């Protein structure tokens, strides 16, 4: 096993057990393994996100086989109900709920089509949902951060990126509600 594989395995544990993001987990795993605290890390020294995702799947299968499928099923059910509510905004969902690696630390990450977060925010207020405006890091090669709303729905943390860019709706493996209905 090479150093990137070891970093991926260590990062997977940090993601599954502590809820770190892929980037945070890779950097912390690298630091833990190399003693390189605070040093600049070259991208080629780190495993790809696909490598880490594979390691997360392996970690979940080995250490969370009894609980993780239940958590994933629960989050997908919550997502289906929320996406039905948000249908006027063409909701898409991505992340761990779609790729099957959701854990106790995972929330829902949606993308909705609207002219502004204010438009979606007003809709949520009218539904009795108190959402906080924030920004979500933009995608590489695109304008700055996206507008986003964060709220709790059915006891789950929800982040909804708001965009009027149709191409963003297909970004990062996001799927539409009809596709989510087909997942177990």
CA 157 to chain centre: 11
Residue 102 in tokens: 């959701």
Tokens of 15: 């993601």
CB neighbours of 70 closer than 8 A, spacing ≥ 6? none
Give the model's pLDDT for residue 179. 78
Beginning with the edge strand found earlier in the chain, give each strand of the sheet holding 156-163 in spatial order.
132-136, 146-153, 156-163, 108-113, 92-94, 175-176
Q: Which CATH architecture has domain 68-182?
A: 2-Layer Sandwich (3.30)
Chain centroid offset of residue 171 CA: 12
Q: Given this model, what pLDDT does residue 183 score? A: 77
Residues of the chain with CATH 3.30.460.10: 68-182
Output the pLDDT for position 176. 76
What percentage of the chain reaches a pLDDT higher than 90? Answer: 65
Residue 45: per-residue pLDDT:
79
> Could you report the average pLDDT of every consecutive run of 10 residues in the chain (184 residues)?
90 96 92 74 85 97 97 96 95 92 94 91 97 77 75 95 71 70 77
pLDDT recorded at residue 139: 55
* Segment 137-158, tens digit of pLDDT: 765 455 667 789 999 999 999 9
pLDDT given for residue 50 in this prediction: 94
Contact assessment for residue 76 and residue 154, using Cβ atoms and an 8 Å cutoff:
no
On whether the CB atoms of residues 49 and 4 are closer than 8 A, the answer is no
> What SS3 state is found at 93?
strand
Nearest CA-CA partner of 159 in 85, 87, 93, 80: 93
The pLDDT score that the predictor gives to residue 33 is: 84
The token duo for 105 is 């630390």
Distance CA 111, CA 29 (A): 30
Model confidence, pTM: 0.86
């Amino acid at each position: 096993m090479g150093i990137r594989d070891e970093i991926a395995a260590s990062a997977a544990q940090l993601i599954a057990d502590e809820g770190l993001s892929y980037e945070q987990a890779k950097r912390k795993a690298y630091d833990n393994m190399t003693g390189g605290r605070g040093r600049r890390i070259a991208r080629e020294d780190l495993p790809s996100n696909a490598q880490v995702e594979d390691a997360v799947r392996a970690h979940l299968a080995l250490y969370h086989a009894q609980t993780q499928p239940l958590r994933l099923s629960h989050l997908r059910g919550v997502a289906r109900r929320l996406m039905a509510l948000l249908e006027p905004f063409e909701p898409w969902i991505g992340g761990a709920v779609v790729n099957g690696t959701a854990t106790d630390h995972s929330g829902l990450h949606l993308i909705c089509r609207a002219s502004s977060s204010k438009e979606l925010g007003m809709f949520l207020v009218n539904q009795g949902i108190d959402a906080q405006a924030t920004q979500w890091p933009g995608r590489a090669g695109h304008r700055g951060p996206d507008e986003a709303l964060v709220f709790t729905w059915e006891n789950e943390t929800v982040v909804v990126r708001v965009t009027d860019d149709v191409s963003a709706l297909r970004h990062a493996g996001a799927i539409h509600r009809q596709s989510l209905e087909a997942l177990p």
